[in-house]
Amino acid sequence: MPYAAATDTAHHWATERAIALWVWFAGDLPSVALATLAEELGPVRADGARFALVVPAGQSPRADEEAMADLIVEGAAAPAPFGFFAALQAAGLGDVRLLGALGATAEAITAAHHAGAAAIVGIAPAAPATRRALLLAQPDIIVAPEEFATLDRQRYASDRAHRQRVLLNPGPSVVSDRIHRAVGGPDLCHREPEYSDILDGVRRKLFQVAGVTDDWALVMLAGSGTAAMEAMTGAAVRPGRRLLVCSNGIYGQRIETIASRLGIATVVVNASDLEPIDPAAVAAALDTHDDVDAVAVIHHETTTGLINPLHEIAAVANERGALVVCDAISSLGAEELDLDGTGLDFVASTSNKCLHGLPGCSFVLVSPRGQARIAEVPPRSLYFDLAAYLTAQAKRTVPFTPAIPALYGLDAALDELLDEGPKHRRAYYQERMDYLDREFVRLGMEPRVAAEHRSRSVRSLPLPPGIVYEELHDALKEEGYIIYAGLGGAAQSSFRICALGALTIESLSGFVAALERTLARQPAAAVA
């Protein structure tokens, strides 16, 4: 699927068929199957799909094949792929990703694979005994002839429900084709040296992006960002000591909940979800409670798109001998985040936000001081035992099965980030949000967080008078955009727009136009 690069990207994604041309070989589909298919194809054709028949040299098509075909081309017999290319050319299509194949034999399915068809559908009766011959050729799916039209409507039609959209939620994010191709890497046993080589490479690249030296450690986990949050929280506080939690949103509350579940006592410094945590309040709490072992801070509180003064809080904690636990899940890669020598000890993040990977991998970056702390803390969990991961990784292995496809994606995403340049990535994130901020103000929706405290990727916006979030969401989804609900105390009166991932300003301009159209259709909405 293409990068979200143009003003009309979302429109194309929201309205166009996934497969424009279905191709089959003469003599491949039995007459009975073809007759059943032909009876069902009216809606498929009405939706814009065409059907092409490839006729190998020296072979004549049957009358029923000619009747069903919109195009007839000459091409090499299966399993050679060249007939598919002839069909694409005859149809005037220049993108193999619009090509679908129908096949009742392994040879036809193999030809489709060789051609790089985007959809490969085996046609066979429902009985498993009749389908086993196709399985080794690896079609995407096998359906009976009478099921094909339904399959087309569900997976490939212009009005299919499950389709690519421009994601304006706070992760997962839209990613490039480079990432999608990477996750299809070879099946791999995680106990083999090839896996360790990949993990070592990811470690080097993450250290380069994060700006840390080799005395830091990386723990890679299979799970969401919350998995990394829980792992580092459990490893940072010694028995009988407390965790100070900086809480000004849902994710600060989440760390407090994690600590409670792990049996760790907490001290909480609260602030409004529209105001950053005050370092002076952290200092006062630490001076009052001398049993605090670590301070937990959410760098980017995505409840409202608020940046907390992480380094100032870290300085206060370090002066008082407390370690710092940082949730950088939605900031690493987008925000200014200095780690080495700044007093941060545990930094949690994930693959599927500002690093532009796919969900499944989260990780904790651990300073030398944090590694010493891990050795002092008895494990509070089996799966999230950071000491066990560090011990295993030192032996070039892992304690549990990792999310290998997600790691493939993260590896490619880090390559992409380093090709772009981390500084450029951060600057473009800022440029995108500056553009959106101007447009939001023009539409009469001033972001709820003050400009000096805003992140580079998330905005919490007031719902205009008379606008119901669910209706706004559904209308924009029809246009190809996914927005996100508000959280916390303003959940009923706000919504969020997030610009993470492979999005250009041009694609966001298409969203702004769609938002403006949607608001204009609401009689009670006042558009400035």
**pLDDT tens across the length of the chain (528 residues):** 457 888 899 999 999 999 999 999 999 999 999 999 999 999 999 999 999 999 999 999 999 999 999 999 999 999 999 999 999 999 999 999 999 999 999 999 999 999 999 999 999 999 999 999 999 999 999 999 999 999 999 999 999 999 999 999 999 999 999 999 999 999 999 999 999 999 999 999 999 999 999 999 999 999 999 999 999 999 999 999 999 999 999 999 999 999 999 999 999 999 999 999 999 999 999 999 999 999 999 999 999 999 999 999 999 999 999 999 999 999 999 999 999 899 999 999 999 999 999 999 999 999 999 999 999 999 999 999 999 999 999 999 999 999 999 999 999 999 999 999 999 999 999 999 999 999 999 999 999 999 999 999 999 999 999 999 999 999 999 999 999 999 877 888 999 999 999 999 999 999 999 999 999 987 654 444
Token pair of 101 as six digits: 């194949």
Q: Decide: helix, strand or coil at residue 214.
A: coil
Instruction: List Cα–Cα distances, 493 to 299, 462, 490, in angstroms.
Output: 24, 6, 5
Token pair of 467 as six digits: 């606008």
Measured CA to CA, the distance from residue 222 to residue 350 in angstroms comes to: 10
Measured CA to CA, the distance from residue 358 to residue 406 in angstroms comes to: 6
Q: Decide: helix, strand or coil at residue 132.
A: helix
Question: Phi, psi at residue 267, to the nearest 5°?
Answer: -120, 135
What pLDDT was estimated at residue 525?
46
What pLDDT was estimated at residue 461?
97
For residue 464, whether the previous peptide bond is cis, meaning omega lies within 30 degrees of 0, is no
Q: Dihedral angle at the C-alpha atoms of 224, 226, 229, 233, nearest 10 degrees?
A: -130
Residue 17 per-residue DSSP state: -
Residue count of the chain: 528
Domains of the chain: 17-156 (3.40.50.1000), 178-419 (3.40.640.10), 422-521 (3.90.1150.10)
Query: 29: burial class by Cβ within 10 Å (0-12, 13-18, 19+)?
Result: buried
The position carrying tokens 């036809």 is 108
Measured CA to CA, the distance from residue 319 to residue 422 in angstroms comes to: 30
What pLDDT was estimated at residue 427?
98
Q: Decide: helix, strand or coil at residue 176.
A: coil
Token pair of 427 as six digits: 């600057």
Contact 268, 297 (CB under 8 A): no
Contact 101, 109 (CB under 8 A): yes
Chain center to CA of 285: 38
Q: Decide: helix, strand or coil at residue 306.
A: strand
Q: Is pTM beyond 0.85 here?
A: yes
What pLDDT was estimated at residue 524?
52
- Picking from 244, 258, 252, 216, the residue whose alpha carbon sits closest to that of residue 369 is 216
For residue 172, whether the previous peptide bond is cis, meaning omega lies within 30 degrees of 0, is yes
